[in-house]
Amino acid sequence: MTSTKAAKAKRVLLTGAAGGIGTMLRNKLKGVYSKLLISDIAEPKRLGKDENFVRADLADMAAVEKIVKGVDGIIHLGGVSIEKPWEMIHQANIVGGYNLFEAARRHGVKRVVFASSNHAVGFYRRNRRIGTDAPVRPDSRYGVSKAFGEALAALYADKYGLRVLCIRIGNVTDKPADVRRLSIWISPDDLVQLIRIGLEHPSLTYEVVYGASDNARSWWDNAAAFRLGYKPTGRAEDHLAHALEGQAKLPPDPIGDLFEGGPFCSNEFAGDPENRGS
Ligand code: 15L
pLDDT in tens, 6-23: 777 899 999 999 999 999
| pLDDT of res. 144 | 99
More confident residue, 277 or 93: 93
**Atom nearest to 262 CA in ligand 1:** 12
Tens digits of residue pLDDT in 214-264: 999 999 999 999 999 999 999 999 999 999 999 999 999 999 999 999 999
As a dihedral over the C-alpha atoms of residue 251, residue 254, residue 257, residue 260, rounded to 10 degrees, the angle is -110
With bands split at pLDDT 50, 70 and 90, how would you rate the model's confidence at 272?
Answer: confident
**Atom nearest to 119 CA in ligand 1:** 2
With bands split at pLDDT 50, 70 and 90, how would you rate the model's confidence at 192?
Answer: very high
- Distance in Å, CA 261 to ligand 1 centroid: 9
Q: Are 105 and 195 in contact (CB under 8 A)?
A: no
CA distance 225 to 202: 14
CA distance 74 to 97: 12
**Residue owning the nearest CA to atom 4 of ligand 1:** 81
Tens digits of residue pLDDT in 126-185: 999 999 999 999 999 999 999 999 999 999 999 999 999 999 999 999 999 999 999 999
Ligand 1 pocket check for 117: Cβ under 6 Å: yes
**Cross-strand bridge partners of residue 37:** 13, 52
| pLDDT of res. 3 | 60
- Distance in Å, CA 1 to ligand 1 centroid: 26
pLDDT at 188 > cutoff 80 = yes
| pLDDT of res. 4 | 73
For a substitution probing ligand 1, which of 93, 118, 267 has the most ligand atoms within 8 Å of its CB?
118
CB-CB neighbours of 36 under 10 Å: 22
CA distance 100 to 153: 10
- Distance in Å, CA 269 to ligand 1 centroid: 18
Ligand 1 pocket check for 119: Cβ under 6 Å: yes
Ligand 1 pocket check for 132: Cβ under 6 Å: no
Of 5, 9, 14, the residue nearest 192 (C-alpha) = 14
Enzyme catalytic residues: 142
Ligand 1 pocket check for 146: Cβ under 6 Å: no
CA distance 69 to 278: 42
Q: Is 179 left (phi over 0), alpha (psi -120 to 50) or beta?
A: alpha
Ligand 1 pocket check for 118: Cβ under 6 Å: yes
Q: Is 51 left (phi over 0), alpha (psi -120 to 50) or beta?
A: beta
For a substitution probing ligand 1, which of 81, 172, 215 has the most ligand atoms within 8 Å of its CB?
81
- Distance in Å, CA 108 to ligand 1 centroid: 31
| pLDDT of res. 1 | 61
Task: Tell me how far CA of residue 185 lies from CA of 63, 147, 154, 175, 235, in angstroms.
Answer: 33, 20, 25, 8, 8
